Amino acid sequence: MQPDERWLSAEPGAAAGTTKSRPAPDAAPASAGGPPVPDARTGGTWDAGTREAGTREAGTGEAGTGEAGTREAGVTREAEAIRGVQAARADGTGGPDAGRPAGSTRHDGVPWLIALGVFAAYTTLSVFRLWQLDPASWDLGIFTEYVKQYAHLQAPIVDIKGAGFNLLGDHFHPIVALIAPIFRLVPTPVTLLVAQAALVAVSVIPVSRAAAARLGTGAGRAIGAAYGLSWGLQQLVENDFHEIAFAVPLLACSLSALICGRRRAAALWALPLVFVKEDQGLTVAAIGVIMILLARRAARTAGSTAGNTAGHDAGTYAAGAGTDGADTDADGAVAGPDGAVAGLDGAAAGDAAGRAAGPRGRDHWGALLIAWGLGWSYLAVAVIIPHFNPAHQYPYWNMGGAVSAGGHFALGPLAAQLLAASSVKLPTLVMILLVTAFLAVRSPVVLVAIPSLALRFISTDSAYWGTAWHYNATVMPIVFVAAIDGLARIRAARMRGTAGPLGLAMERHGAAIMLAVCAALAFQFPLSNLWNPQTYAISDQVKAADAAMARVPDGVTVETDLDLLAPLAARTDTFWLGNSGNPPPQYIVFDSHSTDWQPPPANIPAFIDQRHPGVSYRETFSDDGVYVFRRVSPPGGWRRVAVRSG
Cα gap 401→627, rounded to integer Å: 42
Mean pLDDT of the region 252-270: 96
Lowest mean pLDDT among 352-366, 437-451, 546-560, 614-628: 352-366
- pLDDT value at 319 more than 80: no
* H/E segment holding residue 499: none
Cβ 472 vs Cβ 239: under 8 Å: no
Cα gap 500→442, rounded to integer Å: 13
Cα gap 197→49, rounded to integer Å: 50
Mean pLDDT of the region 367-388: 96
**Average pLDDT for the chain:** 79
- Contacts of 602 by beta carbon, 8 Å cutoff, 6+ apart: none
Backbone phi, psi, residue 95, to 5°: 70, 175
Instruction: For residue 302, give the 3-state DSSP assignment.
Output: helix
- pLDDT value at 621 more than 90: yes
**pLDDT tens-digit series, residues 594-603:** 878 788 888 8
What's the Cα-to-Cα distance from 1 to each of 201, 217, 545, rounded to whole Å? 38, 30, 65
- Contacts of 224 by beta carbon, 8 Å cutoff, 6+ apart: 110, 111, 114, 115, 204, 205, 207, 208, 211
Of 93 and 272, more confident: 272
What local confidence, expressed as pLDDT, does residue 518 receive?
A: 95
Question: What single-letter DSSP state applies at residue 435?
Answer: T
**pLDDT tens-digit series, residues 145-196:** 999 999 999 999 999 999 999 999 999 999 999 999 999 999 999 999 999 9
State whether the Cα torsion 631-633-634-635 is positive or negative: positive
Strand partners, 622: 627
**pLDDT tens-digit series, residues 112-122:** 999 999 999 99
Please tell me the number of Cα atoms within 13 Å of 221 on its side-chain side. 10
Cβ 66 vs Cβ 110: under 8 Å: no
Give the residue among 590, 575, 576, 585 at the shortest CA–CA distance from 626: 590
- pLDDT value at 578 more than 60: yes
What local confidence, expressed as pLDDT, does residue 549 receive?
A: 96
- Contacts of 522 by beta carbon, 8 Å cutoff, 6+ apart: 229, 231, 234, 528
Report the predicted TM-score, pTM, of the whole model to 2 decimal places. 0.77
Rounded to 10 deg, the angle between the 231-238 and 189-202 helix axes is 170
What's the Cα-to-Cα distance from 77 to each of 99, 344, 345, rounded to whole Å? 16, 14, 17
- pLDDT value at 306 more than 70: no
DSSP string covering 527-556, please? GGGGG-GGGG---HHHHHHHHHHHTSPTT-
Cα gap 428→390, rounded to integer Å: 35
- pLDDT value at 104 more than 80: no
What local confidence, expressed as pLDDT, does residue 50 receive?
A: 40
What local confidence, expressed as pLDDT, does residue 633 receive?
A: 83
State whether the Cα torsion 100-102-106-111 is positive or negative: negative
What's the Cα-to-Cα distance from 45 to each of 56, 87, 135, 163, rounded to whole Å? 15, 19, 56, 68
Cα gap 130→134, rounded to integer Å: 6
Lowest mean pLDDT among 106-110, 374-378, 427-431: 106-110
Cα gap 224→215, rounded to integer Å: 12
As a residue count, the chain comes to: 646
Give the residue among 610, 570, 571 at the shortest CA–CA distance from 590: 610
Chain centroid offset of residue 608 CA:
46
Cβ 631 vs Cβ 579: under 8 Å: no
